[in-house]
Amino acid sequence: MAQYMLLVYQEEVGPAEQAEREREMPMFVELHRSLREAGLLVGVQRLHSTESATSVRVRAGETEITDGPFAVTKEVLAGYYILDCADLDEALKHAARVPAARYGTVEVRPMMPADEWLRVSREAGADLPDEAVRDMA
């Protein structure tokens, strides 16, 4: 078993087109219910539009706060899923079921388990005790 994050990217559209997408929500609900019943759904969230995004950078000790997403792109992150899957093939199959995949893009990323995170950081020289694994992910 491995965990995958499905990042849903889509264009932010005008009110009429958005209304059309909202009317498709029963399809999302159906998908989420089916994923949950199959025991695969770890988490799912929809994000507010990038109009509401604020980006934070700390440079030379100074915190810079800017209005907007980290990069201005045509398709933006609109939501995500976290799924338990046997392998990439299964994750890709579920990604194709996300209704937004028909007009946007679903990026599938394997999530790094906490013990791997600990191992990778230690190999690079980080000073971390075994119990740090509980706080890593």
Locus of tokens 């498709």? 24
Q: Which is nearer to another protein, 32 or 119 (CB)?
A: 119
Smallest gap from Cβ 62 to another protein, in A, equals: 35
Q: Which is nearer to another protein, 76 or 91 (CB)?
A: 91
Say how far apart CA 65 and CA 87 lie, in whole Å. 39
Q: Any idea of the CA torsion for 56, 57, 60, 63, to the nearest 10 degrees?
A: -10
Long-range contacts of 45-52 (CB under 8 A, 24+ apart): 45/79, 45/80, 46/78, 46/79, 47/77, 47/78, 47/79, 47/80, 49/12, 49/76, 50/12, 50/76
Provide the binding-site residues for another protein, judged by CB under 8 A: 2, 85-89, 92, 108, 110, 112-113, 115-116, 119, 122-123
Q: Which is nearer to another protein, 85 or 98 (CB)?
A: 85
Smallest gap from Cβ 91 to another protein, in A, equals: 8
Smallest gap from Cβ 127 to another protein, in A, equals: 15
Q: Which is nearer to another protein, 19 or 88 (CB)?
A: 88
Smallest gap from Cβ 117 to another protein, in A, equals: 11
